[in-house]
A and B are shown apart, each in its own frame.
Chain A
Amino acid sequence: MIKGVSFVVLFTLILSAFSTLFLPESNSVFYDNIKSTVARGFYGEPKNSLDVIAVGNSNIESGFSPMELWNQYGITGYTCGEPFQNIFQANNILSEVLTCQKPKVVILETDGVFPLNDRTDTLYQSLDSRLNHMFPIFEYHNLWKIMFSGNTAAVSSDQSNPSRGYLYSRADLPFSGRRPNQRYGPVMDQICSSALDGFDNLCRKNHIQLVLVYVPTAYSWNQERHDWMENYAVRHSLPFLDLNTSVSDFQIDWRKDTRDGGTHLNLSGAQRVTLYLGSYLHQHYDLPDHRKDLAFRQWNEDYKRYLKMTTPKPTVHLGNPPGKRLIAGSPSAR
């Protein structure tokens, strides 16, 4: 018995040691096998320089552009969105953000809050996420490839992301106009709901204003989800902006604003969403305008880069082959 307990204790200690060793010090590794380095670009930002953080799945990654927010209101923001990010991962990434940033407002995209499959799958997701958070080696074990190549600089140097986590796309594939009559599993379950409570508590504990947002998406949104989230927002005194329903002075154009027939927004859609959210944040929260602040001059430089990246060049055709996405900030995008 003593031997067994000693083995488990020793194993946990070694696991923790390896987890520290494998935890990337920054997001700087643009590497295939490391999860969403772009979403973790906040590591590359000066400490406590970000006022708004957006968390969620690919809907927010494609639908909220912090550089547009900067240009309009001078608010510093970062999109920590990544494909299929669930509420458990959202909790993890917010915890990571809080190790180096003190955001005033957090936008939570609510699509990833809802369970995709049955309760057991949700339980797996929750367990997987907790395990990855407790022992990051499970998430970052593939860093051995970099360690063995001796390219430690790639792991240790910080690197910011000029589009601040936004996934840029000019692709234009209109939505057919009919929402499919499909449900994505149960509307909500206790595990996801508790995780959302945890997210809310984390924000409150750190004096962060939480804003719930449902970015326009033609497929996974449904009325039941809207109703559940609206009810949750009322119970917890949180703002809920569902951009899928008719919100005053916001209208998505499904003919022009989606890159893949309604699942994700393109640049035009992201600009609409960001301007709307920017206006809301500007009106409701005390977020400083940093545009004339010399400490933030890098943002102005990055905005020029962002503009260059997002403006189509008239003479040389730079369009991506159909279906290929360009990640803003990745080497191929520059």
Chain B
Amino acid sequence: MYYFSYAYPIFLGLTAIAYFITPMKKRWGVLLAASLSFYLYYARFLTVFLLFTSLTIYLCAIWIDKIDACAALAKEYIPREKRAEYKNKFLWQKKAVVTLLVLLNFGVLAVLKYSGVASDSMNAFLQLFHVQAHFHPLPMLLPLGISFYTLQAVSYVVDVYRGKIKANRNFAQVLLFVCFFAQIVEGPIGRYDHLAPQLYEGHRFNWQNFTYGMQLILWGLFKEIVIADRANMLVSRVMDHYTKYSGAAVGLATLLYTLQLYADFSGCIDVAAGSAQILGIHLTPNFQRPFFSRSVNEFWRRWHITLGAWLRDYVFYPVSLSKPLVQFSRFIRRKNSSHLGKWITAGSALLFVWVGMGIWHGAGWKYLAYGMYYYLLMMLGMLFEPAIAKACKAIHLNREAVPFHLFQILRTFVLVNIGMLLFRANSLQSAVSMFFSIFRGTGASAITNGSLLRLGLDAKDFAVLAFSVLILLAVGLMQEKGVSLRRTVGEWPLPARWAVYFAGIFAVIIFGAYGTGYAPAALIYAGF
């Protein structure tokens, strides 16, 4: 269970001790040894894929650097009139290297992750024409964190290509950047310029980093063990046998799945970030209280931030600035310079982002539909925004008033829940079936007749979940107001501070959904 096992605290403790007793300049070596051990333990022979990715990005980055060096030399020695020609030639070479790298790494990802769906789809397609051919899917091999480290690795080479960073000539250091144990399971997807220098330079032991890191780990444990694993009991019972349930049961399961996914994913990220902070490394934040979002756009700027930023920098911008799209935009603007024109051009680039977002999450049509769901919501929001603004003005509705904000938050929450239903369902068909089943069967009566208490959670479990949600809400509200809880608690007198720590630790031990009667759920995003 990666970060949620007995072995992890021992592993982290030993790593930290080894890290801080090693000479400063060699501390990154301890991180590499620890990260490789962690990865080898879980991925075993599938580690070859990680090595393959690391090796390809290492070589391609150096290759690009060499092309850049040649270009710089050429600039000095080639006559001015021929410079443009050579510049284009070098640019073409660099593009070829990046394309090769992207094809190699996304090719491996595609083969490992999507061959099953591809072969199923191909078989279904051939059946339409009564063709008796049958494609067999490849054996299911999914190296740990492949979807995360592939994006991170590709971003390194693209950044070298863009001249943002220089290629690293030390393969071991590149390997560490790809496999750092604190983020290999579920991210956050790091960028070389932010993460790599922190990994390579040694950090002194810092008591504040240690306590802040431990606080974050405790917070992550609370989210995972008290909330996510508890919510999972009802969610898996209802959603894995969705045909047996309808009405309030499915509605409640959808709500709880949203809670579970948030607590699971952000809890794992908290443990990862806390572990890194103990070693003096600050990971990029991946969540920023997403359920306070007033629109779906904002939600995706606050939820899985590093994936959104990756898609923005490495899909949206390149697509927007690509020649065909620039020409298309010019054409549209010539024809229609109004809001509709901008909407069409923005929508064209965003389509790639959301297709990418959907299929990154998994192999299956439901994931594509998941991406398209948010794409449609965003496009509709953008399309009708001027009309809505006009209508609000006409009826003198203050869009900055608190009640309107609350309405927007609630609306976004409902829309996100529908997206989560799509995300959790076993297939697209079952998602549609579950969605409509919410409006059938027992409604409010399920709350009063106690049938909701027969879905895997008893009244006390619900009470723990409700209280935990209140804690999440209170912490979120304070953070929204700019209060740093970790700093605030850190400044309290020792007895008060320790009382809070002990309360947190024993809340997890006593109210955690583990041991007899509970089945811990697998980390959801680790499956991607």
Residue of B nearest to A3 (CB): B494
A18 touching B506, Cβ below 8 Å: yes
A131 vs B502: C-alpha distance when bound (angstroms):
19
Q: Provide the residues of chain A in CB contact with B509, threshold 8 Å.
A: 15, 18, 137-138, 141
Of the candidates A7, A15, A127, the one whose C-beta lies within 8 Å of that of B6 is A127
Among A29-37, A195-203, A257-265, which stretch is in contact with chain B? A29-37
Spot the interface stretch: B109-117, B132-140, B365-373, B512-520.
Answer: B512-520
Q: Given contacts A7-B498, A11-B502, A131-B6, is CB(A145)–CB(B458) below 8 Å? A: yes
Contact B502 A14 (CB under 8 A): yes
A11 touches B510 (CB 8 A): no
Q: Given A124-B5, A127-B6, A148-B460, are A141 and B517 neighbors across the interface (CB < 8 Å)?
A: no
Interface residues of A in 127-154 (CB under 8 A from B): 127-128, 131, 137-139, 141-142, 144-145, 148-149
Question: Chain A residues with Cβ under 8 A from B510's Cβ?
Answer: 18, 22, 137, 141, 144
Contacts of B5 in A (CB 8 A): 124
- Contact A142 to B6, CB < 8 A, known contacts A11-B502, A137-B510: no
The answer to whether the Cβ of A10 comes within 8 Å of any Cβ in the partner chain is: yes
> How many A residues have CB within 8 A of the partner chain?
27
Mark each residue of chain B from 1 to 40: 1 if its CB lies under 8 Å from any CB of chain A, else 0. Answer: 0000111000000000000000000000000000000000
- Which residues of the other chain, A, contact B518 by a CB distance below 8 angstroms? 33
Residues of A near B494 (CB, < 8 A) are 3
Q: What 1/0 mask marks residues of chain B from 501 to 528 whose CB sits below 8 Å from any chain A CB?
A: 1100110011110111110000000000
Measured CA separation A77–B131 after assembly (Å): 68
Q: Are B498 and A141 in contact (CB under 8 A)?
A: no
In the complex, the chain B residue whose C-beta lies closest to that of A132 is B515
Q: B185: shortest Cβ distance to chain A, in Å? A: 17
Are A145's CB and B6's CB within 8 A?
no
Given contacts A124-B5, A124-B6, A145-B458, contact A138 B515 (CB under 8 A): yes
Whether the Cβ atoms of B515 and A142 lie closer than 8 Å is: yes
Q: A145-B458, A148-B460 are in contact. Are A33 and B517 (CB under 8 A)?
A: yes
* Residues from chain A with Cβ under 8 Å of B516 in the complex: 33-36, 139, 142
Size bracket of the B interface:
20 to 34
Determine if A141 and B502 form an interchain contact, defined as CB atoms under 8 angstroms apart. no
Closest to A36 in B: B516
Per the bound structure, the CA–CA distance linking A138 and B509 in Å amounts to: 7
Q: Closest approach, in angstroms, between the C-beta of A84 and any C-beta of chain B? A: 11
B6–A144 CB distance below 8 A? no
Which residues of the other chain, B, contact A22 by a CB distance below 8 angstroms? 510
- How far is A3 from B207 in the complex, measured between Cα atoms in Å? 11
Closest-by-CB residue of B relative to A6 is B498
A-B contact count (CB 8 A): 54
Q: How far is the CB of A121 from chain B (nearest CB, A)?
A: 11
Given contacts A14-B502, A34-B516, A142-B517, contact A128 B6 (CB under 8 A): yes
Residues on B with C-beta less than 8 A from A36 are 516
Contacts A124-B6, A128-B6, A139-B516; A144 near B511 (Cβ below 8 A)? yes
**Are B6 and A139 in contact, with the CB atoms below 8 A?**
no
Chain A stretch 1-41: residues in CB contact (< 8 A) with chain B: 3, 7, 10-11, 14-15, 18, 22, 32-36
Task: Name the B residues within 8 Å of A148 (CB-CB).
Answer: 460
Q: Which residues of B contact A145 (CB under 8 A)?
A: 458, 460
Cα of A3 to Cα of B210 in the assembled complex, Å: 13
Output the nearest chain B residue to A131 by Cβ-Cβ distance. Answer: B6
How many whole Å from A32's CB to the nearest CB in chain B?
5
Q: Which residues of the partner chain A approach B498 to less than 8 Å between Cβ atoms?
A: 7, 10
Measured between alpha carbons, how far is A145 from B41 in the docked complex, in Å?
A: 37
Interface string of B425-461 (1 = CB under 8 A from A): 0000000000000000000000000000000001010
What is the CA–CA distance of A15 and B63 in the complex, to the nearest angstrom? 57
* CB nearest neighbor in B for A139: B515
CA distance A137 to B507 in the complex (A): 12
Cα distance A7–B518 in the bound complex, in angstroms = 30
Chain B residue nearest in CB terms to A141: B510
**B41: nearest residue on chain A (CB-CB)?**
A120
Chain A neighbourhood of B505, CB < 8 A = 11
The answer to whether B6 and A14 touch across the interface, beta carbons within 8 angstroms, is: no
Q: Which residues of A contact B7 (CB under 8 A)?
A: 120, 124
How far is B233's CA from A251's CA once the two chains are assembled, in angstroms?
43
Least Cβ–Cβ distance between A119 and chain B, in angstroms = 12
Residues of chain A lying within 8 A (CB to CB) of residue B511:
141, 144
A190 and B360 alpha carbons, distance in the complex (Å): 44
A141 with B6, Cβ < 8 A, contacts A11-B505, A18-B506, A148-B460 known: no
- Give min CB distance, A128 to chain B, whole Å: 7
Map CB proximity to B onto A172-187 as digits: 1 under 8 Å, 0 otherwise: 0000000000000000
Chain B 460-504 interface 0/1 with A at a Cβ cutoff of 8 Å (1 = within):
100000000000000000000000000000000010001001100
Q: Kindly provide the distance from the CB of A57 to the nearest chain B CB, expressed in whole angstroms.
A: 15
Please give me the residue from chain B that is nearest to A82 by CB atom. B516
- Of residues 226 through 268 on chain A, the ones whose CB sits less than 8 Å from some CB of chain B are none
Measured between C-beta atoms, what is the minimum distance from B500 to chain A in Å? Answer: 12
Can you list 13 residue pairs at the A/B interface with Cβ under 8 Å? A14-B506, A15-B509, A18-B506, A32-B517, A124-B7, A127-B6, A128-B6, A139-B516, A141-B509, A141-B514, A142-B516, A144-B510, A145-B460
Inter-chain pairs besides A14-B506, A141-B512, A148-B460, 15 sampled, C-beta below 8 Å: A10-B498, A10-B502, A11-B502, A33-B516, A33-B518, A35-B515, A35-B516, A120-B41, A124-B7, A138-B509, A142-B515, A142-B516, A144-B460, A145-B458, A145-B460
Residues of B within 8 A of A (CB): 5-7, 41, 458, 460, 494, 498, 501-502, 505-506, 509-512, 514-518
